[in-house]
């Protein structure tokens, strides 16, 4: 009798094991399905974010550096259009789960579109809404990349189909922006030298150039593809800043050279700054940074004249973008002059002649977009084509 009981117990236990095994196997398959499909979704989400990041940054750089932006509102609209194309192009070059990504250009710039252009007053404010409006004020590119029923198809699932889940929709958004409103410069090992010329340009003359009131015409053509300058026209007006730094009202013998660093910089110092920019050591002479005070001003001492010894250095940077301080007023003469600086402008040198008769000398410049890691920016400050590099902000 005892043997029969043991035999019956063994049969019962065997049945329980089979049932537990069946339930466990089902659960194991379920967890395996979950793990595998979650892994696929994790990869899809990461690749979508990578694509959105790359497209937003590329669009922001295209918008910032597009030469059309120098041509007022019409040019700004063309720059936005070019940037939309760049976003679409870069997104397509970054597939997600081996699927080529399509983003809608959203030419109407609807706020819920795949690509949205607008402006942010403070790029550090995560709660500020992107303002849609004037193309010339645009500094932000937002990009939505998705695998869903609207665009590119949802992500197919494998084992989750057992539970009736055939696909999943995944998306990612990124925003990149650049900042203007330059209020100064600080040089570190990370930023590299500040690309500022040790000259100064009268702010009213600069504004008149932008308005087309004061100009030397359009006699030189800059080629953005090659970075070279030739005789001809490129649609961007020009100004001769020598002699006179853009004005005939300067004291005799002073042509707008300023000391950014040690007082009474030598010609060799100025030549070095022309080619290589302002160094951390230069700024150490003036407290470590070149920054406006609470009145939006700073004072720089001036030197007499632009030496012919600088002509080779100036010629060597023809076509390259540089920033130049804008002064409102100047007092004193020669080495005793002081410039009241109220802004910085982006320019490029087109032609240089510093030998021969004074009336035949010239340093011809035109507005240009300058991107400089060393700039200090402030929301709401004015801007004249000098910017911090684009960066991801959201």
pLDDT (mean) for 147-171: 88
Tokens 């020598």, residue located: 242
Cα Dmax for the chain: 130
24: Cβ contacts below 8 Å, ≥ 6 apart: none
> 119 and 241, same structural domain?
no
> 226 and 373, same structural domain?
yes
The last residue of a domain, from among 177, 200, 227: 177
For 70-88, write each residue's pLDDT tens digit. Answer: 888 888 999 999 999 999 9
Measure the CA–CA gap between 150 and 336, rounded to whole angstroms.
68
pLDDT (mean) for 293-308: 83
Range of the domain at 114: 2-177
> 215 and 166, same structural domain?
no
pLDDT at 169 over 90: yes
> 235 and 348, same structural domain?
yes
The last residue of a domain, from among 177, 209, 235: 177
Specify the pLDDT at position 250.
43
Which one is predicted more confidently, 379 or 106? 106
What is the number of structural domains in the chain? 2
Distance of CA 180 to CAs 99, 152, 287, 345, Å? Answer: 37, 36, 23, 11
pLDDT at 133 over 90: no
Instruction: Give phi and psi for 287, each to the nearest 5.
Output: 90, 5
Tokens 């004015």, residue located: 382
Distance of CA 182 to CAs 116, 198, 373, 388, Å? Answer: 25, 17, 11, 8
CA 221-222-226 angle, to 5 degrees, is 130
Mean of pLDDT over the chain:
87
> 186 and 171, same structural domain?
no
Which one is predicted more confidently, 17 or 117? 117
The last residue of a domain, from among 154, 177, 200: 177
For 233-281, write each residue's pLDDT tens digit. Answer: 999 999 988 765 455 544 443 456 889 988 767 888 889 999 999 999 9
> 313 and 233, same structural domain?
yes
Grade residue 315 by pLDDT with cuts at 50, 70 and 90: very high
> 314 and 239, same structural domain?
yes
Specify the pLDDT at position 254.
41
> 146 and 276, same structural domain?
no
């Amino acid at each position: 009798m005892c043997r029969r009981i043991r035999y019956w117990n063994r049969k019962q236990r065997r049945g329980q094991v089979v049932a537990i095994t069946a339930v466990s196997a089902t659960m194991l398959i379920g967890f395996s399905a979950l793990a595998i499909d979650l892994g696929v979704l994790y990869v899809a989400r990461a690749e979508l974010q990578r694509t959105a990041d790359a497209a937003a940054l590329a669009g922001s750089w295209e918008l910032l550096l597009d030469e059309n932006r120098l041509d007022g509102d019409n040019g700004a609209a063309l720059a936005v259009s070019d940037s939309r194309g760049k976003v679409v192009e870069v997104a397509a070059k970054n597939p997600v789960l081996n699927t080529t990504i399509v983003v809608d250009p959203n030419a109407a710039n609807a706020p819920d579109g795949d690509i949205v252009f607008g402006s942010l007053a403070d790029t550090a404010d995560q709660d500020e809404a992107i303002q849609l409006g004037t193309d010339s004020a645009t500094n932000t590119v937002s990009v939505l990349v998705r695998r869903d029923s609207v665009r590119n198809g949802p992500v197919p699932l494998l084992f989750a189909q057992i539970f009736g889940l055939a696909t999943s929709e995944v998306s990612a958004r990124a925003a990149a922006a650049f900042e203007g409103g330059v209020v100064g410069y600080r040089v570190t090992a990370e930023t590299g030298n500040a690309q500022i010329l040790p000259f100064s340009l009268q702010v009213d003359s600069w504004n008149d150039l932008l308005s087309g009131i004061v100009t030397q015409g359009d006699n030189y053509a800059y080629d953005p593809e090659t970075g070279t300058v030739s005789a001809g026209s490129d649609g961007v007006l020009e100004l001769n800043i020598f002699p006179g730094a853009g004005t005939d009202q300067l004291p005799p013998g002073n042509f707008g050279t300023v000391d950014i660093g040690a007082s009474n910089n030598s010609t060799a110092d100025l030549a070095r700054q022309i080619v290589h920019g302002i160094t951390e050591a230069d700024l150490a002479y003036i407290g470590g940074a070149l920054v406006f005070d609470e009145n939006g001003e700073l004072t720089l001492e001036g030197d007499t004249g632009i030496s012919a010894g600088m002509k080779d250095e100036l010629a060597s940077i023809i076509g390259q973008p540089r920033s130049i301080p804008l002064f409102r007023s100047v007092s004193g003469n020669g080495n005793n002059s002081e410039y009241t600086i109220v802004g910085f402008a982006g320019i490029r040198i087109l032609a240089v002649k510093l030998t021969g008769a004074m009336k035949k000398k010239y340093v011809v410049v035109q507005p240009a977009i300058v991107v400089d890691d060393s700039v200090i920016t402030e929301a709401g400050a004015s801007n004249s084509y000098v910017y911090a590099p684009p960066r991801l902000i959201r």
